[in-house]
Homo-oligomer: A and B are copies of this chain.
Amino acid sequence: MSKNSTKIAVVLLSGGLDSSITLAHALKEGFQCYALTINYQQRHKVEIEAAKKVAERLGVIAHKIIDLDLRTFGGSALTSDEAVPKNRTQTLMACEIPVTYVPARNTVFLSIALAWAESLKAFDIFLGVNAVDYSGYPDCRPEFIRAFEKLANLGTKAGVEQTGNFKIHSPLITLSKKEIIKMGHILGLDFSLTHSCYDPNESGKACGLCDSCVLRLEGFKEAGLVDPIRYERVGL
C-alpha cells in the first residue's frame, strides 16, 4: 500500500482508557477509523457514553454501537448481579482469572469487528488488550490475537480471495499500565473523557476500589500524572 493511499480500520472502542488510547494511536498511524462499541448489557453502561464522547472528540468516520445481550448467558460479574471484587492488590489480581472475566468476550467482539471490516473492505482491526489484562484474561494474550488473525483470513471471502490480509493490531499488548498512560499522554488524549470503573455509582462516578480502578490509579501514579476523573473514594 502506498503512503498516500487511504488506510481504513475498525477500532473496538469501549470508552475505557485502553481502547481510547488505541483509537488515538490508530489515528496517529494514519488510519481513517470506524469505531465499534458493543453494548453487551454490561453493568457499567456509563462506558457507552464515554465511548460516544471519545469517538466524537477524536474524530472517526463513523461510530456504531451494536447491541448484543451477553447478560442472558451469565457467567461473569460484569453481566450479572454478582459482587465485583474490591481493594485487591495487583499481586492478588495476577493469581487467577477474575470473576469479571466475560466468557469469550474478545472472541465475540473481534468477530463482530471482522464482520464490519469485511463489509467496509478494511483489513485492519485495532483492539486495546494489554499486558496487565494478559495476567488475568485468556483472550488478551498474543497467541489468542494470532489465532484470531489466522481465523479471519480463513473464514472470510476477502481472506479466501486474497483481496487483502486481515491484521489484528494490539498496540498495547506488551505495555504496562504506566506505559499505556504515558502513551495516551503523548498522544494528547483527554483522559477525562474515558471511563474504566467496573462498578460506578448511579451518577457514573468511579468507585476507586475495583480491579479496574486500582490498576488505573496505580498506572497514573507510576506515570507521574494526575487522573482527571472523579472517584467515589480511593483505596489501598
Contacts and interface: CB of A to CB of B under 8 A. Distances in A.
Counted per complex, copies of this chain come to 2
Nearest to A70: B115
A151 interface: yes
Contacts of A106: 155
A221 interface: no
A101 B155 CA distance: 11
A101 B157 contact: yes
Q: Give the bracket for the number of chain A residues in contact with chain B.
A: 35 or more
A194 to B, nearest CB: 25
Contact of A97 (B104, B110, B160): B160
Contact of A151 (B75, B120, B148, B161): B148
Nearest to A36: B73
Interface string A81-119: 000000000000000010001111111101110111011
